[in-house]
Amino acid sequence: MIKNLTKKFLGWIMGWIAAVASLGQGVPIQIQHVAGSIHILEGRGGNIAVSVGEDGLLIVDTQFAELAPQIEQALDSLDKGSLQYVLNTHWHGDHTGGNAHFGAKATVIAHEKVRQRLSEKSNTPDKALPVITFRESSSLFFNGEEIRMLHLGPGHTDGDAIIWFTQSNVIHMGDQFFNGRFPYIDLESGGQAEGYLKNVQAVLNHLPEEAKIVPGHGKLATRSDLESFETMMTESLNTVRQSISLNKSLDQIKASKPMEDYKAWGTGFINTSRWLEILYNSLTSITNR
């Protein structure tokens, strides 16, 4: 039953992504300087980080395919240098949809699971696939700084990467962080709620002073924002875990309205009901192994 519910929810998410992608034409791309050589592009889909400098351009994630022309214009406004690298934080279409466009002119790098999962999609063009992959970590030296790509373990998916621009002191967390919102955890792609929290805590334990944090979705963040997110995750998991230990069903957990203090966090595409479903399904699947 849990597996069927998860597949049904995954279908809803994929439908939502497709619907959002269809609205891509005419979407304005907002540009914000973060620190050092790093900028953010906000459009529709996952936030894009851009490194601008003497070596050219590097981007983290590519949003939807339909947005590629607007993203291209935004990049041209930042620098006339050529795009050299594309880094993917994970495989979802709102972060890799533009890979085919930008992969035709730049080298795509990602965790090995990203290539695997994109390859398993029958309609994925070869140009959209990462040509360089890593298992645990990798580094790229570009525009005067080391850019570290770190895989901390299954969380949002089983192939997430944290991107750390070491000199600019900027960290792109991909969908390992939704600023001020309940996150989506893709259980069908190897994601785990407990692993997600552990990854957030690992970033906090090693977060450099005054670092700027680019979330997968939401506004540019600080340590305080990530700490609030970690608190929400911890309280959510503890609440659902305790309810499961008392043999409460998912419907009973929802009826008790345990997330009232975080009502505002459920205004995105993951509402409170779906957030509780994700946690319940993740925790019960681990318990039943």
91-149, pLDDT tens digit by residue? Answer: 999 999 999 999 999 999 999 999 999 999 988 999 999 999 999 999 999 999 999 99
pLDDT band at 286 (very low <50, low <70, confident <90, very high): low
> How is the beta sheet containing 137-142 ordered, strand by strand?
137-142, 145-150, 162-165, 170-178, 212-217
pLDDT band at 28 (very low <50, low <70, confident <90, very high): confident
**For residue 277, what are the CA distances in angstroms to 2, 137, 199, 265, 284?**
10, 32, 21, 15, 10
**Which tens digits make up the pLDDT trace of 229-246?**
999 999 999 999 999 999
Residue 268: its pLDDT value, please?
82
Question: Could you give the CA distance from residue 215 to residue 217 in angstroms, rounded to a whole number?
Answer: 5
Q: DSSP class of residue 263? A: G
**Which tens digits make up the pLDDT trace of 244-253?**
999 999 999 9
Task: Out of 6-20, 136-150, 208-222, pick the least confident.
Answer: 6-20
Q: In the predicted model, what is the mean pLDDT of residues 148-171? A: 98
Is residue 119 exposed (0-12), middle (13-18) or buried (19+ Cβ within 10 Å)? middle
Which long-range contacts does 106-109 make (Cβ < 8 Å, 24+ apart)?
A: 106/59, 106/82, 107/131, 107/132, 108/132, 109/85, 109/133, 109/134, 109/138, 109/140, 109/149
Q: In the predicted model, what is the mean pLDDT of residues 48-61? A: 97
Residue 96: its pLDDT value, please?
98
- Domain residue limits at 30: 2-287
Q: How many domains does the chain have?
A: 1
* Residues above pLDDT 90, as percent of the chain: 85
pLDDT band at 18 (very low <50, low <70, confident <90, very high): very low
Question: Could you give the CA distance from residue 91 to residue 234 in angstroms, rounded to a whole number?
Answer: 26
Residues 6+ apart with CB under 8 A from 253: 240, 243, 276, 280
Which residue is associated with the tokens 């875990």? 241
Residue 143 sits in a domain whose CATH number is 3.60.15.10
Residue 11: its pLDDT value, please?
53
Angle of helix 272-287 versus helix 223-245 axis, rounded to 10: 60
Q: 3-state DSSP call for residue 191?
A: coil
Q: In the predicted model, what is the mean pLDDT of residues 246-275? A: 95
Question: Could you give the CA distance from residue 261 to residue 110 in angstroms, rounded to a whole number?
Answer: 37
Instruction: Name the average pLDDT for the chain.
Output: 92
Helix H or strand E segment including 133: strand 132-134
Strand partners, 134: 111
Q: 3-state DSSP call for residue 120?
A: coil
One-letter-per-residue 3-state SS of 216-261: EECCCECHHHHHHHHHHHHHHHHHHHHHHHCCCCHHHHHHCCCCHH
pLDDT exceeds 50 at position 21 = no
Residue 269: its pLDDT value, please?
86
Q: Is the pTM of this model over 0.85?
A: yes
